[in-house]
Structure 1
Amino acid sequence: MSAVRRVQVLVVGGGQAGLAAGYYLRRAGLDFAILDAAEAPGGSWQHYWDTLRLFSPAPYSSLPGRLMPRQSGHEYPDADHVVDYLATYEKHYVLPVHRPVRVEAVEDVGQGLVARTDSGMWRARALIFATGTWARPFLPAVPGRGDFAGCQLHTAQYRSAADFAGQRVVVVGGGNSGAQIAADLTARAEVRWVTQRPPRYLPDDIDGRALFDLATLRVRADGPGIAALGDIVAVPPVRVARDAGLLSAHPMFQRLTASGPLWPDGTVWPCDAVIWRTGFRPALGPLKALGLRGPGGRIPTVGTRAARDPRIHLLGYGDWTGPASATLIGVGRTARTAVKEIQDLLR
């Protein structure tokens, strides 16, 4: 049986949030390790579809301490460029990332926390959980979903419009990824985009830079929420499809039939595939034994800190754990605060 490895701080997750935490832990002089379940660096970015684009230029999509270089020929980098950047980042800062290591459970052992993994046990005085949401795609309980005879997949499984060439495809869900996937498919397929509410495009001159500024104002409690302006950044491919009249959204259908969606007026649109852009849930299963959850199943937090256990911080899960914390540029701010609180705790 392997010996228990000990560190002051254990980080679970080696994507952008885990690396940002590692940067500040290194600066703080703390003894730490990062456990990542993936085979290679890059976090969830290594699984995105082939035409995905960031909605900020490279310098405005950077983790703390090191600017993302520009991608030749592109103002908005693609996912492969982000993967290369993250791999270089962890190497540059010599971050102690152990992979592939899958954390199965975290337990409280009184004077510390023990993480049981598929390759042994780790003990730490504090824990930063940065597993993200990619491992838990959410599919809604839409009536008739089991009756549909065609292909169904979540956006986590979408790779290329070429897979749907010549088909009729329904894309369900708005936001940036819904708009980008629908726009991507229009070149190869007949697309019907379905959203709960009409899409609201941000002004064409607004990208992730402005959104981060708005998130900063929200932190200071003296600015409007991002949702007040819109919910879709018109990156070039989306803008082209929108202006060509190919991104006209339809209201949500009533149910799925064997051949396709059925709307309340009785209209059925026969299709070959349904792509669900219906979000993700935080991948927090290993924390179950700690009893951190509150009413409704969510873990109550104060900033990033678990309200019921100050040794545990949740990092990078969106506005729940800090405005813009699920973005490359935004996670650094919450990572810095989390590490500072852990440093104070360990003193």
Structure 2
Amino acid sequence: MEQVEAVVIGGGQSGLAAAHALVRAGLKPVVLEASGRAAGSWPRYYDSLTPFSPARFSALPGIPFGGDPDRYPHRDEVVAYLTAYADRLHADIRTGQRVISVRADGAGFAVELEGGGQLWARAVVGASGGFGRPHRPDLPGLETFAGQVLHAADYRSPAPFAGQRVVVVGAGNSAVQIAAELARDSRTSLATRAPVKFARQHLLGKDLHFWLTRTGLDTAPLGRLLKTPPAPPVLDDGRYRAVLAAGAPDRRPMFARLAGDRVMWADGTTERLDVLILATCYRPHLPYLAGLDGALDPAGHPHHCGGASSAHPGLAFVGLEWQCSLSSNTLRGVGRDAARAARRLAAHLARA
């Protein structure tokens, strides 16, 4: 069994930030990425996606995002940035390496790979995000719905749905963006439990992220102070308010149920539905920790305090939503949490 200092599980933005922080802390991490390249989930996001923060606020530690710092880079630009970032890291990054289990083994952890490979590490960082675990809410009639059901994780472009009747479930950024572009060529509704909340993209000529950074709200430990962190509003420069106001898509209260190939709305009306798209977020994707006592709760969420495992001192997490702040699982914020986790792991290994 190969022995290493630290294993980082996941080679996306969280894993790369973790590797950078571990190297700066004097450790030699091995990054294990299941896919064929170190870009995380970004290559699989929908085609039109752009980050919600400008390039100047969309960089990982150590390497700025190139080009106009005030532009909103496209998904493919982020993929290219992450790939280049990985190439410049002084870390052992191994692609095509899917971790299937982590178990306690003496003063460290045994990490088992798909195909039978194994590593022994003194420390482990779970940085696999949530894209592999889309949340599918228990909606009445969903299991027997005769139409097409997909999650936003499976959505790429509006072309396959032209001319169809589509309902998008969700009130977040992705839900509104997907519904708006679908509505150009299909009859689309946005179904939400409450009215969509918007936040202005620009205030006094500056992007909202400038003010979040300047005021310190971006780094405030809100996730640890709030019992139930609020859902983030939809960031908008005015275009999404406009399309909803114009009814393309129209926003409706959440439907009552699905039956056969039909949807029953809250007012009792029914209609045929071709496609249901669930833009209903994600949950931490940490299946490899299922056999590690105390690492996860019954729902698969990690027991942690600010990214440090509550059960295993040599285990840490990076990239969890609200891990330490409102930006913990974003390009702009993951580096801060990674540095915090690396310092704790380095201190633990020094004491061990």
Same fold flag (TM > 0.5)? yes
Deviation at 1:149, TM superposition (A): 2.0
Please state if 1:96 is matched with 2:92: yes
Counterparts of residues 246-261 of structure 1 (less than 5 Å): 246-261=248-263
Aligned to 2:178: 181
Judged with a 3 Å threshold, the aligned counterparts in structure 2 of structure 1 residues 199 and 34 are, in CA distance, closer, same or farther, namely same
- For residues 101 and 108 of structure 1, the distance between their equivalents in structure 2, rounded to whole angstroms, comes to 20
3-state DSSP of counterpart to 1:122: strand
Cα shift at 1:342: 0.8
Question: What SS does structure 2 have at the residue aligned with 1:43?
Answer: coil
Q: Deviations over 1:165-196 (max 9, x none)?
A: 11111001111110110111121211110011
CA distance in 1, matches of 2:162, 2:256: 27
Report the CA distance shift for 1:305/1:322 in structure 2 as closer, same or farther (over 3 A): farther
Once the two structures are TM-superposed, the CA of residue 208 in structure 1 deviates from its matched residue by 4.0
Q: For residues 220 and 192 of structure 1, do their structure 2 counterparts lie closer, same or farther at Cα, with a shift above 3 Å needed?
A: closer
Range 254-263 or range 238-247, more displaced: 238-247
Query: Does the Cα contact within 8 Å between 2:223 and 2:229 map onto a contact in 1?
Result: no
Report 1:76-155 matches (<5 A). Answer: 76-119=72-115, 120-155=117-152
Cα shift at 1:269: 3.1
Query: What's 2:268 paired with?
Result: 266
Q: Deviations over 1:250-277 (max 9, x none)?
A: 1111111223321232111322111011
Q: Structure 1: which 5+ runs fail to align?
A: none
Partners of 1:57 and 1:70 within 8 A in 2? no
CA RMSD in angstroms, aligned pairs only:
2.5
Q: Is the 8 A contact 2:8 2:30 kept in 1?
A: yes
Q: Structure 2 unaligned runs (5+)?
A: none
Correspondence 1:270-285 to 2 at 5 A: 270-285=272-287
Q: Give the residue type in structure 1 aligned to 2:233.
A: D
The answer as to whether partners of 1:14 and 1:34 remain within 8 angstroms in 2 is yes
Residues 138 and 99 of structure 1: CA distance in aligned 2, closer, same or farther (over 3 Å): same
Q: Is the 8 A contact 2:284 2:300 kept in 1?
A: no
Q: Deviations over 1:74-127 (max 9, x none)?
A: 921111110000000011224321010010111111121110002511111111
The answer to whether residue 332 in structure 2 is matched with residue 329 in structure 1 is: yes
Distance 1:294 1:157 in 2: 27
Name the aligned partner's letter for residue 326 of structure 1: N
More helix by share: 1
In the alignment of these two chains, the number of paired residues is 341
Alignment of 1:300-339 (within 5 A): 300-320=303-323, 322-339=325-342
Shift of 1:38: 0.9
Among candidates 49, 53, 67, match of residue 52 of structure 1:
49
Work out whether residues 184 and 237 of structure 1, in 8 Å CA contact, stay in contact via their aligned partners in 2: no
Query: Following the alignment from structure 1 to structure 2, what is the Cα–Cα distance between the partners of residues 252 and 220?
Result: 28
- Determine the structure 2 residue equivalent to 1:169: 166
C-alpha distance in structure 1 between counterparts of 2:76 and 2:300, whole Å: 35
Partner of 2:15: 18
Q: What residue number does 1:27 align with?
A: 24
Compared CA separation, residues 226 and 128, structure 1 to 2 (3 A):
closer
Aligned equivalents of 1:201, 1:132: Cα separation in 2: 25
**What secondary structure is seen at the aligned counterpart in 2 of 1:326?**
coil
In the alignment, the residues of structure 2 paired with residue 56 and residue 7 of structure 1 have an alpha-carbon distance, to the nearest angstrom, of: 36
Give identity over the alignment, percent. 36
- Normalized per residue, the structure richer in strand is 2
